[in-house]
Structure 1
Amino acid sequence: MPSRLALLEAPTRYMFFTGKGGVGKTSVSTAVAIALADAGKKILLVSTDAASNLGEMLGIELINTPVAVPGVVGLRVLNIDPDVAAENYRVRVVEQMDPEASADEIATVREQLSGACTTEIATFDEFSSLLSHGASDFDHVVFDTAPTGHTLRLLSLPKAWSGFLKGSDRGASCLGPHSGLKMQEKLFNQALAALNDASMTTIVLVARPETGALEEAARTSSELRDLGLANQRLVLNAVFQASQSHDRIGDALDALGKKALAAMPEALRRLPTDYVPLRAVDSVGLPALRALLAPELTWVSNVPRGVPTHLAHHPMSELVKELAHADRGLIMVMGKGGVGKTTIASAIALGLVRSGKSVHLTTTDPAAHLAMTLQGNVPGLTVGRIDPEVETKKYVDKIVAARAPRMTEDEKALLIEDLRSPCTEEVSVFHAFSHVVSQAGSSFVVLDTAPTGHSLLLMDAAGAYHRQMVRAFDDKAPGRIVTPLMRLQDTNYTRIILVTLPETTPVSQAAALQEDLRRADIEPFAWVVNRSLLATDTNDSVLLARLNSERKQMERVATLSKHGVYVVPWRADPPVGILGLEKLLEGD
């Protein structure tokens, strides 16, 4: 492997790091930002992930303005906070209103701007400013983005919003007065130009030597090219080489990586590629982040004497047995991208069917592939997906069909123009989500959610809808209003399963997600720790060194969960297909 990443030799002004959740985007992007700053450059590192743990990795508190990083001269970091961005956007829109507007009119506009689509456009607004004039004091701007599906959405918005605004001078009611959006049209066009300029912008696809991560990176590469973003590179992170101990687990992990790389999609083979080896510790703190790109393969620390290297654990079958005590209900599987939510959700659904239950398994994650995970039909199990494109068309058709008969042709044209807004998708997905939630009243519904940040936006939409319904109807029919949020808060109706890996970042994000849920009066039911090396019998020196930090994370999870903690050991054969999922359930 090269001792230095080639992408550091001639970096463009803007660098976007993207990829499947859990591949190490934050670690790699942060290490690159530190390396450039150490070389004397002025660097701005930007997180566009609502669930980012960048602050924990660097030991600082992230805010919506650049913060200096102690110990790294020239590096500043900011987090595009969706809530702060949305409030700033609301203030700007209100400032565009007629000075004589009444308090009721202003309140109405602010209410219009309380939904998830406003959060999206406001976040994009902040993002666009950085691509135009907002980062003029820096040599390079490094973007640590959210997992793939959300990032594709973000990078497609310049084209989507520019197209929506072109020739349009009215509408956009979901974002309040059109002037509030139109005033940013020039900014959006500048962002689009910067993204499409290969001399200014590089897209860095981060993947691990795993089949799923490589296939998703290839799909992402193709979709980004369709958006005009052709200047791409590939970073293969956590590349593992087994030691000479002939350890069963180490040899299997090595062989899996080599097999995945040998079958790497052709679209990725054409890209300039850098390799980062698997390190013995998590990339938290400046020493570990600087060492991530160091020429040494790894460093190995000895396992303390007398400390067991194997973990006694509760298998997933025990969790399914407990869930099966009920006859119906919603089971939501949540967590950071890349922790294995789709696999865990599929295993739970299969286990419930094996217990004699009728189950519908579905997902809100645009990057999830439930059918690929199951690889077969199971009597009693139906599989679906909340497809944003399909749901948007259904929503638009329904609205037009309901309103068009009472409208003039001009009014109908205005309505259709309004519904062309990209934020219509957010509303459509929430309506589909609400329908899925209601289905759990008569059978089991297992919902594989999108990565944490996107799921929290869905929860925010549920909260906004709840408040709207209560204000509108509760005084007319007190106690009879049942909203999606109320069903999520009902522990007899909804069981939240938090999935994590036994690593610092996923555990911290699961803990933060748990706190966010509790603030909405939603209590998680159980935690699942996936792909645990500590639950195997490995003797590989590098993997044994990683067990020290894994044991600490297991202890953290035990203190965080009010209910059971279930552990899935790392497996040499990926848990796909019905037989693989059954083995996962039993912990084999």
Structure 2
Amino acid sequence: AASAGSGQTCLGPAAAIQDAKHKYERALAAMRERDQTTFIFVLHPEAISIKETRRATGELGKLGIANFRLIVNGIIPPEGAQNPLFAARGQMQARYLGQIEAGLPYAQQRMTLLPGEIKGIDRLRQVGRLFFDGQPATFAPLPTGEKPAAREATSLEAVRAVLEPDGRRRTVFFAGKGGVGKTVASCISAVWLARRGYKTLLLTTDPAAHLGDVLGVPVGDDPAAVPGVENLWAAKIDPKAAAETYKRRILEDARKRGRPETAIQVMAEELDSPCTEEMAAFDKFIEYAAQEGWQAVVFDTAPTGHTLRLLQLPVDWSKQLDVKIFASVDSNAADDVAKQRFGKVIEMMRDPGQSTFAFVMYPEATPILEAWRFARDLGTVGIHPGMVVANMVIPPEQADTPFTQSRRLMQEKYLAEIAVRFQAPLAQIPLLPGEIRGIEMLDTLGELVYGVEKVQA
């Protein structure tokens, strides 16, 4: 009976999950063995990347796993440092390489930034020989004689049209491959909107919660004003904490309805799944976004796969949750309210007059492909790209050495591909000498990316 719990979770029957726990324990034991498993962390010599690596190694350490190696990627080579922009980035990297040596005491290998991308069998073999055999490798710059097809630049007006509210609340979702700069793009956008006079809420469900690092101020669990930026509030949604609150609410409701304790235990098991965590985070987002008064809500999403599951769950509500949560508490009224609530939000996401899905990527093959796949998946539920943000674009005037010319040429090719693939307004965040941190820098970048516009009265 429904009152006894369905015995189902989004991963399958609860009993099957118990069997899986035994497999998990065996796998965990193997992962602790140094002669069987090695965890390799790839990071850039930058503050947020180091912080995330520390967080991840710390989490694994709680499970008794300590067999780590590092690959420090993207190090500016001597030929790259002949350009002042890349020379400044090289100096920044040198400081962080020292921090990595001191704070992450694991075996490490270093990979320099190449004139072009690592793509194709020949280049992979060269990198493999460099990594595993210690053989020196020479990566010649790409030929600069062949220019990509000319493309028409997106006007600032077209970009602003999908970012600014137009009489109704505007919700902007930033999506893309992990590590491409979604947090930076969302912070730039939120600060710019607030400076234009729009009351703006900036949210994240990213477990790493890098908003505070980029803003330069602490960001808590509840919306709070960001010092130094009138009209801007920010909050981080902790998926685990949201899930605990969500489960507690469901189980308390069941107890109030007189369900027996055996049924409560079954329901608790059903709710103990990753789907509950993601649904709870989405539920919390709706709670904040539905608050009166916001003119713009900027959502710094988690990496692509996580976000897609987060968004698909409400769309498949009747298939996945009727038998999981609300059928268990035998509450048709609660079911109807939840369906209506989530359905209304999905309709808002599908309306380009109210929502913009902005895909962030480097102008390189892999981030573009992953963002494109994600965009196609969203298209199956009626959500389409509203804007594309290309991050770390080399300014044309900096393409003054063979190394920077080669990398700029590569980026131009992919900027043209982005325009063709996504058919959406394209904004560009330039590569800077250092990291993007603090309100002053976000203000400057907002004007570079979106332009200076008349402030709302």
- The match for 2:224 is none
- The match for 1:282 is 117
Question: Do 1:316 and 1:567's aligned partners in 2 also have CA atoms closer than 8 Å?
Answer: no
CA distance in 2, matches of 1:179, 1:573: 52
Q: Spell out the pairing of 1:559-570 with structure 2 (5 A cutoff).
A: 559-570=420-431
Question: Do 2:31 and 2:65's aligned partners in 1 also have CA atoms closer than 8 Å?
Answer: yes
Q: What stretches of structure 1 of length at least 5 have no aligned partner? A: 1-104, 113-170
Q: Deviations over 1:491-547 (max 9, x none)?
A: 222111111111111111122222112121112111111110154523232222222
- The match for 1:492 is 353
2:237 to 369, 382, 386: 386
CA distance in 1, matches of 2:266, 2:420: 55
Larger relative contact order (C-alpha < 8 A, sep ≥ 6)? 2
- The match for 1:251 is 87
- The match for 1:291 is 126
Q: Deviations over 1:114-163 (max 9, x none)?
A: xxxxxxxxxxxxxxxxxxxxxxxxxxxxxxxxxxxxxxxxxxxxxxxxxx
Q: Spell out the pairing of 1:18-37 with structure 2 (5 A cutoff).
A: none
- The match for 1:362 is 203
| Deviates most, 322-331 or 494-503 | 322-331
CA distance in 1, matches of 2:80, 2:18: 63
Over aligned residue pairs, what C-alpha RMSD do you find? 3.2
Residue 441 of structure 1: CA displacement?
8.6
CA distance in 1, matches of 2:246, 2:156: 38
1:531 to 386, 392, 395: 392
Residue 396 of structure 1: CA displacement?
1.9
Name the SS for the 2:171 alignment partner: strand
- The match for 2:159 is 319
Q: Which amino acid aligns with 1:283?
A: I
Residue 332 of structure 1: CA displacement?
0.5
Q: Which amino acid aligns with 2:96?
A: A
- The match for 1:223 is 59
Question: Do 1:528 and 1:568's aligned partners in 2 also have CA atoms closer than 8 Å?
Answer: yes
TM-score by length of 1: 0.64
Pair 1:543-2:404 in alignment: yes
- The match for 2:221 is none
| Deviates most, 433-442 or 234-243 | 433-442
Q: Which amino acid aligns with 1:230?
A: A
Name the SS for the 1:217 alignment partner: helix
Q: Spell out the pairing of 1:414-429 with structure 2 (5 A cutoff).
A: 414-421=266-273, 423-429=275-281
Pair 1:194-2:34 in alignment: no
CA, structure 1 residues 470+234, in 2 after alignment: closer, same or farther (shift >3 Å)?
Answer: closer
Percent identity, aligned pairs only? 27
Question: Do 2:396 and 2:408's aligned partners in 1 also have CA atoms closer than 8 Å?
Answer: no
Residue 468 of structure 1: CA displacement?
7.0
Question: Do 1:206 and 1:234's aligned partners in 2 also have CA atoms closer than 8 Å?
Answer: yes
Q: Spell out the pairing of 1:159-238 with structure 2 (5 A cutoff).
A: 173-238=9-74
Name the SS for the 1:323 alignment partner: coil
CA distance in 2, matches of 1:396, 1:434: 17
Residue 550 of structure 1: CA displacement?
1.3
Q: Deviations over 1:446-504 (max 9, x none)?
A: 0011111111111221221266799989xx99x97843322211122211111111111
Name the SS for the 1:497 alignment partner: strand
CA distance in 2, matches of 1:214, 1:415: 40
Question: Do 2:200 and 2:232's aligned partners in 1 also have CA atoms closer than 8 Å?
Answer: yes
Q: Which amino acid aligns with 2:20?
A: Q
Pair 1:554-2:415 in alignment: yes
Question: Do 1:240 and 1:253's aligned partners in 2 also have CA atoms closer than 8 Å?
Answer: yes
TM-score by length of 2: 0.81
CA distance in 1, matches of 2:191, 2:397: 24
Question: Do 1:341 and 1:449's aligned partners in 2 also have CA atoms closer than 8 Å?
Answer: yes
Name the SS for the 1:517 alignment partner: helix
CA distance in 2, matches of 1:318, 1:535: 22
CA distance in 1, matches of 2:59, 2:24: 20
Aligned length: 415
CA, structure 1 residues 420+562, in 2 after alignment: closer, same or farther (shift >3 Å)?
Answer: closer
Q: Spell out the pairing of 1:423-462 with structure 2 (5 A cutoff).
A: 423-439=275-291, 442-462=294-314
CA distance in 2, matches of 1:179, 1:469: 18
CA, structure 1 residues 342+536, in 2 after alignment: closer, same or farther (shift >3 Å)?
Answer: farther
Residue 258 of structure 1: CA displacement?
1.1
Residue 230 of structure 1: CA displacement?
0.6
Residue 280 of structure 1: CA displacement?
1.8
CA, structure 1 residues 480+461, in 2 after alignment: closer, same or farther (shift >3 Å)?
Answer: closer
Q: Which amino acid aligns with 1:353?
A: A
CA distance in 2, matches of 1:469, 1:181: 17
Q: Which amino acid aligns with 1:489?
A: R
Residue 319 of structure 1: CA displacement?
3.1
Question: Do 1:501 and 1:529's aligned partners in 2 also have CA atoms closer than 8 Å?
Answer: yes
- The match for 1:511 is 372
CA distance in 1, matches of 2:386, 2:302: 18
Residue 389 of structure 1: CA displacement?
2.0
- The match for 1:63 is none
Q: What stretches of structure 2 of length at least 5 have no aligned partner? A: 131-135, 218-226, 324-331, 450-457
CA distance in 2, matches of 1:438, 1:251: 47
Question: Do 1:210 and 1:257's aligned partners in 2 also have CA atoms closer than 8 Å?
Answer: yes
CA distance in 2, matches of 1:286, 1:470: 49
CA, structure 1 residues 540+260, in 2 after alignment: closer, same or farther (shift >3 Å)?
Answer: farther
Residue 419 of structure 1: CA displacement?
3.8
2:174 to 333, 339, 361: 333
- The match for 2:260 is 408
Q: Spell out the pairing of 1:84-95 with structure 2 (5 A cutoff).
A: none
Question: Do 1:313 and 1:535's aligned partners in 2 also have CA atoms closer than 8 Å?
Answer: no
CA, structure 1 residues 503+177, in 2 after alignment: closer, same or farther (shift >3 Å)?
Answer: closer
CA distance in 2, matches of 1:211, 1:311: 35
Pair 1:373-2:214 in alignment: yes
Residue 430 of structure 1: CA displacement?
3.1
Question: Do 1:466 and 1:484's aligned partners in 2 also have CA atoms closer than 8 Å?
Answer: no
Residue 315 of structure 1: CA displacement?
8.3
